[in-house]
A and B are shown apart, each in its own frame.
Chain A
Amino acid sequence: MHTYYYDASFTRKDDCEHLRKNTNSNIFSIYCAGVAVECILRAYIKKFDATFDSGHDLFELAKQSQILSLLTEKERERFTIALSIVKKIWNNNLRYYSEKKMRSIISEKFIKSGEKKFNKYLEKESKKYFESTYYIIELGKSKWT
């Protein structure tokens, strides 16, 4: 079972990269990237405890995955930063969100950020989010035995 989740993580990552090529698929690409992260964490959880199911909370999944026990102090810090970035955007209900709702959420984040240039903000936050998801997935791959 854990290898299914492991493989699914990379399939979802490929799906995400495909979706990102189409600007009409923004929400689903964000959702897909988060699912890829969820899959790699579930792969680690299932490796150690086949019966466990921790819902969709990325913090709880990371905790139960024990992946942090395999990381150096610096890697843990970087992992925490990356997961924090992903968790602030992703939740399992994203799949029910309309484009309008997602735009509303992003706009509100921009307004509260105090930043001045909206397009630059969008570009920066999008890059940060997807780089963080890819980092977590690749880190999970590098530590897999």
Chain B
Amino acid sequence: MDLIDKITKILQSSDIESPIIELTYDENNNIYGYVSSNSFLGKSESEAQTLLWNNLRKGLGKRDLLNIFMIFTETPSETYSRLKINIVNKEQGIFPVKLVNYYSHTTPDKTKYWAFIDVAKYGREYKSCYISINAKVEFHKGTIFNYPLKVLQYMELNQENYYFKLLEDAYNNVKEEIFSDLLLRHEKYASEGNIGKNNIYNYIFYSFELEPCNKQDIIFNNQEISLLKKSLNTLKGFKITNYLLEAINISQSINNERFKI
């Protein structure tokens, strides 16, 4: 077993959650690369390296450790930022994002991600939120971000631009979240021997986008409704909660009618 395989095995069975491992050898067989995981969230670079190296030192001998030159630790969000820069550099131009509150993304194996974003004002401060679900793969993420007045003032935006700027950030955050999940799926396919174009998730490095949706066209299946209902309680104060409840009611009626037929 070569050293990269050993490291991969050690990290996959370590306390580092679902690691995405990108390692290469240089011409002297020294190892460089990246390890991405949610386990590094909230950790300083030093703490993240300590977590990585504690696991490597448990599983490898001194000789092998000497050949590990530089492994960067990243959160999935940081991996997306790094890879996004490469995607943008390859393309001819950057197309402006159409900012709406509803998006979807369908994968080549026909699973569907929904993504919903919103911004709300609370006194002099703002909050943004996103939810993303994919019922088929049991994916369910959501977060609220608080923007205190001090931060808004630091950004030097005109007040009328707060909503759109924060909505744009919410869009980028939910896109990162979905990308991170797709990256894990890509890694799973790759570990089964599906490399390059044979990996159905390879497209995420070249052409991953969220498609804007019209509110009227949103129909959820029963699994999606079940997942969404879990998140809606935490989104009090955001207008999107009402729109989603409405969409859920309509979807339930349609699904019930279909069942009758």
- The answer for the CA separation of A88 and B75 in the assembled complex, in Å, is 11
- The answer for the CA separation of A91 and B78 in the assembled complex, in Å, is 14
Q: Which residues on A sit within 8 Å (CB–CB) of B49?
A: 77, 80-81, 84
B148 touches A118 (CB 8 A): yes
CB proximity of B10 to chain A, nearest CB, Å? 17
A80 touches B154 (CB 8 A): no
CB proximity of A141 to chain B, nearest CB, Å? 19
Tell yes or no: B69 within 8 A of A by CB: yes
CB proximity of B47 to chain A, nearest CB, Å? 10
Tell yes or no: B1 within 8 A of A by CB: no
Tell yes or no: B147 within 8 A of A by CB: yes
B154 touches A77 (CB 8 A): no
Residues from 155 to 189 in B contacting A, C-beta threshold 8 Å? 155-157, 165, 169, 173
Tell yes or no: B77 within 8 A of A by CB: yes
Q: Which residues on A sit within 8 Å (CB–CB) of B28?
A: 69
Q: Which residues on A sit within 8 Å (CB–CB) of B165?
A: 104
Q: Could you say which interface size class chain B belongs to? A: 20 to 34
B72 touches A80 (CB 8 A): yes
A103 touches B154 (CB 8 A): yes
Tell yes or no: B151 within 8 A of A by CB: yes
- Interface code A51-68, partner B: CB below 8 Å = 1, 0 otherwise? 000000001001100001
CB proximity of A139 to chain B, nearest CB, Å? 13
Tell yes or no: A87 within 8 A of B by CB: yes
Indicate whether A84 sits within 8 Å of B155 (C-beta atoms), given known contacts A73-B66, A111-B147: no
Task: Determine the residue in chain B with the shortest Cβ distance to A87.
Answer: B72
B45 touches A118 (CB 8 A): no
Tell yes or no: B70 within 8 A of A by CB: yes
Q: Which residues on A sit within 8 Å (CB–CB) of B72?
A: 59, 80, 83-84, 87
- The answer for the CA separation of A130 and B198 in the assembled complex, in Å, is 44
Indicate whether A111 sits within 8 Å of B145 (C-beta atoms), given known contacts A68-B30, A80-B49, A103-B156: yes
Q: Which residues on B sit within 8 Å (CB–CB) of A85?
A: 45
Interface centre among B53, B154, B157 (most CB of A within 10 A): B154
Tell yes or no: A76 within 8 A of B by CB: yes
CB proximity of A88 to chain B, nearest CB, Å? 7
Task: Determine the residue in chain A with the shortest Cβ distance to B147.
Answer: A111
- The answer for the CA separation of A111 and B148 in the assembled complex, in Å, is 9
Tell yes or no: B32 within 8 A of A by CB: yes
Residues from 22 to 60 in A contacting B, C-beta threshold 8 Å? 59
- Interface code B31-58, partner A: CB below 8 Å = 1, 0 otherwise? 0100000000010011001000100000
- The answer for the CA separation of A15 and B171 in the assembled complex, in Å, is 38
Tell yes or no: B65 within 8 A of A by CB: yes
Indicate whether A63 sits within 8 Å of B155 (C-beta atoms), given known contacts A80-B49, A88-B78: no
Binding site for B on A (CB under 8 A): 59, 62-63, 68-69, 73, 76-77, 79-81, 83-85, 87-88, 91, 99-100, 103-104, 106-108, 110-114, 118-119
Binding site for A on B (CB under 8 A): 26, 28, 30, 32, 42, 45-46, 49, 53, 65-66, 69-73, 77-78, 85, 145-148, 150-151, 154-157, 165, 169, 173
Given contacts A106-B154, A107-B147, A114-B42, 11 further A-B contacts (CB under 8 A): A68-B70, A81-B46, A84-B72, A91-B85, A100-B157, A103-B155, A107-B151, A107-B155, A108-B169, A112-B145, A118-B150
Q: Could you write out 28 A-B pairs with CB less than 8 Å apart?
A: A59-B70, A62-B70, A63-B32, A63-B70, A68-B30, A68-B70, A69-B30, A73-B66, A77-B49, A79-B70, A80-B49, A80-B72, A81-B45, A81-B49, A83-B72, A84-B49, A84-B73, A87-B72, A88-B78, A91-B85, A99-B156, A100-B155, A103-B155, A103-B156, A107-B155, A111-B169, A118-B151, A118-B154
